[in-house]
Amino acid sequence: MVKIKQKTHKGASKRFKLTKSGKVLHRSQKIRHLRSGKGKRKIRGLKQMKEIKGTFGKKMKKLLGIK
């Protein structure tokens, strides 16, 4: 029986980053526009990548080719 290779989801690979320790990171939302109404501290915090936890993180790992 031939096993089919699991392919990486290209859309997910462009949006999510997998760290060496196995965490899934994504860019923050609400930073693309309407920035004048947000404070400098908030914008600085939104520039940092956030970790995805729980079942959604497991789904993203599967899309990225990690079991």
pTM score > 0.85 for this model?
no
Q: What was the pLDDT predicted at 47? A: 95
Q: What is the count of structural domains for the chain?
A: 1
In the three-class reduction of DSSP (H, G, I as helix; E, B as strand; rest coil), residue 11 is classed as helix
Strands 24-26 and 16-18: antiparallel
Q: What is the pLDDT of residues 10-26, one digit of tens each?
A: 999 999 999 999 999 99
Q: Please check whether residue 5 lies inside any domain of the structure.
A: no
Q: What is the pLDDT of residues 15-54, one digit of tens each?
A: 999 999 999 999 999 999 999 999 999 999 999 999 999 9
pLDDT value at 4 more than 80: yes
Q: Please check whether residue 17 lies inside any domain of the structure.
A: yes
Domain enclosing residue 56, as ranges: 10-30+37-63
Q: Please check whether residue 2 lies inside any domain of the structure.
A: no
Report the side by side order of strands in the sheet with 50-52: 16-18, 24-26, 50-52
Q: Please check whether residue 3 lies inside any domain of the structure.
A: no
Q: Please check whether residue 57 lies inside any domain of the structure.
A: yes
CA distance 55 to 33: 29
Q: What was the pLDDT predicted at 20? A: 93
